[in-house]
Structure formats: C-alpha cells, structure tokens
Amino acid sequence: MSDGTLPDQDENGGERLEHRWAVLATSIIVLLIAMAVFAGVHQAVLPQSRVETADPRTLHLGGEFIESNLGSALQPDGSVVVRAVGQQYSFTPQCILVPTDTPITFRVTSADVVHGFLITGTSINLMLVPGYISSIPARFSTPGERHMPCHEFCGFGHEGMWGRIKVIDKAEFARLAADTGRLNCVAQ
Ligand code: CUA
C-alpha cells in the first residue's frame, strides 16, 4: 500500500502481460497447426461419400452406359433417369427428351477427356470426368427446347460439341415411354 511498492508491481505486471501474449501467440499457432492436421486427416480418411466410377475404356461393352441403355428411362416410381455419354466431339444421345413436372436424375460420364455438361437457362452444370459418373437432380416446369453445349475445352472440335434437350408434356412422355424403354429425340 506504500509508494515504494508501485514500481515493482508495474514491472511484474509488464512481465506477466508479456508472458500472457507469448502463451496466446503460441496457442494460436498450435491451434492453426491442429486445424490443418485435422482437416488433412479428415479428408484423407473420409473421402466423398458418393463417388461413382465407370471405366471409360469399357463403356461401350457393357454396364450402365452401354449404348442401348442411354437416353431417358421412366422409373416405376414415376421419376426419370437420363443417362448420357460425352466424347470428342458429341453427346450420346445428341438430343435428350424429358417430361415436365417430373423429378429427373441426370447420370453422365465421359468416354475420353474432360467435357462439360450444361443446360442453358438452368442451373444444371456438370463436369464430365472420365472414370467418374456425374449426377444431378433436375425438374423442368415448362415444355420447350434448350441447348446443351460442352463448356470445357476438350480439343479442336470443342466448339462444335453440343446437344439439345427437349422438354415435353408429362402425359406425352408417359405415352412414348410405354412403347419404348429408352427415349431420346435424336430423330425429331
Ligand atoms: Cu467436349 Cu468441349
């Protein structure tokens, strides 16, 4: 409580403060290292939950992306699955047929290099990576025709690589699907 003790207290206080900052700075560094390690380990041990693969060398020989299985298929639950393949420099099928007001799942892969799958006027935008299946849910409310340009540079023919997608009335689609297993609009 006397005047004599004040300078000592100040000096001790300064040291304590410096110590506290040192501890704080070290803690932040340790925390950042721990976060980086955790993020790295987490990503390594828990890869994406749904990675689907398709061997680009054997797509035409069998399995989900064999040519006879491409196009739009009406499912027992009323939804539609569209399967397509991108390759230098076209899409198969060249014209995709889908119904209005129906949950649709696009499943697309590449047979050679990286391509882009984009439907104009929608948020549908996929990258087609050989070896992997790209999947996206969709729903179209109005009938009409849209373009489907490849948007990843894939070689000299990239500019000419594009397809069409035609949205038709749900009832009309169901009628066509009753006759044929896999639908497309290539001939239309
Ligand atoms: Cu395929 Cu660009």
Q: Note the pLDDT tens digit of each residue in 70-96.
A: 999 999 999 999 999 999 999 999 999
Spatial distance between the Cα atoms of 107 and 73, rounded to a whole number of angstroms: 11
pLDDT in tens, 34-45: 999 999 888 778
Cβ–ligand 1 distance for 161 under 6 Å, the answer: yes
Which residues on neighbouring strands pair with residue 136, listed in sequence order? Answer: 106
- Say whether the peptide bond before residue 130 is cis (omega within 30 degrees of 0): no
User: Ligand 1 centre and the CA of 157: distance in Å?
Assistant: 7
Say what the pTM is. 0.75
Contacts of 96 by beta carbon, 8 Å cutoff, 6+ apart: 71, 72, 82, 84, 148, 163, 164, 165, 166, 184, 185
Cα–Cα distance between 23 and 48 in angstroms, integer? 37
